Copies of this chain bind each other. A is one copy, B any other.
Amino acid sequence: MSKLKPVLTKKQKKILAFIAKFSEDNGYPPTFKEIADKFLLTIGTIQDHIAALSKKGFLEKRAEKARGFIVVKNSDGGPLVSKSDVNMIPLYGNVAAGEPIFASDNIQGYITMEKSARGHNLHFALKVKGESMTDSGIYDGDIVIVRKQDAADDGDVVIALLDDEATVKTLRNSKIKAYLEASNSRYKSIINKPFKIIGKVIELRREYYPA
Contacts and interface: CB of A to CB of B under 8 A. Distances in A.
Interface of A: 1, 3, 23-29, 31, 60, 62, 65-71, 78-88, 90, 104-105, 110-112, 114, 116, 119, 134, 137-139, 142, 147, 156-157, 200-208, 211
Contacts of A31: 66
Contact of A66 (B66, B83, B111, B204): B66
Given A3-B104, A28-B67, A110 B203 contact: no
Contacts of A70: 26-28
Given A25-B84, A111-B114, 14 more contacts: A23-B28, A27-B69, A28-B65, A78-B90, A83-B83, A86-B86, A119-B211, A134-B137, A147-B211, A156-B208, A201-B208, A204-B204, A204-B205, A205-B205
Nearest to A3: B104
Majority SS of interface residues in chain A? mixed
B83 A88 contact: no
Question: In the complex this chain forms, how many copies of it are found?
Answer: 2
A38 to B, nearest CB: 15
A105 B1 CA distance: 8
Contacts of A28: 23, 28-29, 65, 67-70
A42 B56 CA distance: 39
Contacts of A1: 105
A23 B68 CA distance: 11
Contacts of A29: 27-28
A207 B31 CA distance: 42
Given A28-B28, A66-B67, A104-B3, A112 B81 contact: yes
B81 A83 contact: yes
A73 B190 CA distance: 42
Contact of A79 (B65, B110, B201): B110
